[in-house]
Chain A
């Protein structure tokens, strides 16, 4: 299996082809079978490969499976090659197994949808592309997957194409991501030019060998990070993710929480050598991460759409991951990526189950009192909420704690590290608060929806609840793979260790025992405080707290509700000027000239159609343009 790694993405890709071309005619059971076989097949093959890897390699070496040489030109080139190493293995396991659970869930969730075949075809294609992204052995091949998952994400966000906002959201996602991709592409060209390759290992070796201008390394890192801010929804490119909630809920769970959006974190962790050579770039990553974590968390405080709350929460948690990789705790960032995949997938799927039960209602102001009516959903949702809020010993606690402790003790930029820690801790407090607000408003109090909705409330079928239970279980125990060293064994950090070679004498971060304990206690207290505040404000008081807040400080409430008006700002500062310049370029050339022509035409038409031929006002203007061009040429010459 190790030498046929390419089979892993091919299996879901075959599923995409089968469903894409025959799914419409073949019927539902065929589509279901193919889609589940595609994702389960990838998961099983992946697991098999991991088992073989463990049998052959004991020190975290990279296993390379070159399929063929993609292109070579002179001394630079690229291979189509897959690789397996500790980081790829973690991603592979998360993506395939969580992906399979979400496929399973989708069978129930999407059963009444018209475009059932289309949905599963795209979902399988997504799996294939995501696997290329994480198994590719070079930046270039990774970029293929990177673009591919973007395309799938966009097709799935716009899945409900009868809804205009869905198509618009899809388009927004794609365009914002293109800005990030621009950064990624330029970074790759710089690697080709200055490091001579785009293969992960060769880039790493070339960078460690020294001799490359540190400004170039910084530029590469920052450009890569620009790519990451697009894909992983960080400031300033996070705006697409909340809108992406227009897509079906399992898609939000799979693509916009558990897998695709973490690609940026994966990339930074993968490039850890480059980043550690450029502390400035790391500081930017850490600060952007911290700022995003806090900023998105404050927006989450006042959102009323159940999926929007979770979307901002995802943006915020991704900020935590970047905080981790930014301060040099690469294993901690990846750790949070894993635990987040468990509890956030659980939360999204749970919200899907709630929406399903509520006949499509997404506004938490019209929910309430669902605890008894949909108990499995409620319990799993509660477990995931505890995990994300950071109560020990749930999954989120350990990963978040390791990030915060690392931020405090980072040696790259000690002062800024403390600031990052403070921002992160405040964000953690808000996280606990808005998550329990969501929980209380959804599941407690009295039912606030319509009578008809109340009549229809029902627990979801087993294909939906089984994945929920599994994910909830993982949200409880997932944290044990990375216990702090003062308590137990940090298996994950050790597993990742070979990937983080010493650079300029620096190995992985070391966290002092006293810092570890202090941070753990503070984190637990902060989570508790957030929970207690939410409990006192929302338990049994329905929406009273929100309303009184709105009365007391309407400006703050409105600003938060409108997400700091960032979309409006982008509209005024970027979108409109761009459209205007396009229209200008076109109109100067076209409309004005055509206007003159039309006027001439209008006069001329009086003389009959014969004279129509003399309507060459157009051409004369064009010829004038032409000569002006020559004149510009001559100016350039002088």
Chain B
């Protein structure tokens, strides 16, 4: 298991060197996104009001941010589940030129196919550590705040060795969780045996 310290903007060779199971820490500018932003951009045909060329890392997150003395203060930050954004995943990778998506869980087949084509990885947290991560993040700016509200707005932030996140989809399209599924499926059969559930058990069809 290799550990990588990466700088944003990410280059193709940065992400091509990553394999599933590797750990990454990221530094540099990134932006945030949740469903309402992708709905606003892709379903309602708006443009993202800034260029993502130099901040080609997207974190799926709805932060808690409060305004104190006219300044934003980041209160809490924990990546949220990426799989629920699958509807817009491929278009996000293509349109925004993403090289890395950070989020809990993983992405589905369509997004993975686009990630392979465009050379992008997905990484996910192995802990729930918002109170450690906020010390590694600075708020730079916010867009679409009035339209989408605090947690769904597009926040531009700066990371300083933010991590660790585990690579769960690499640029070859391999998925860490697909591999774990095989182990867990075998363990599931053993768990049934531990519980004396008969191998030929079938539920009664009630309807």
Same complex for A and B? Answer no
Residues on A close to B: CB < 8 A?
none
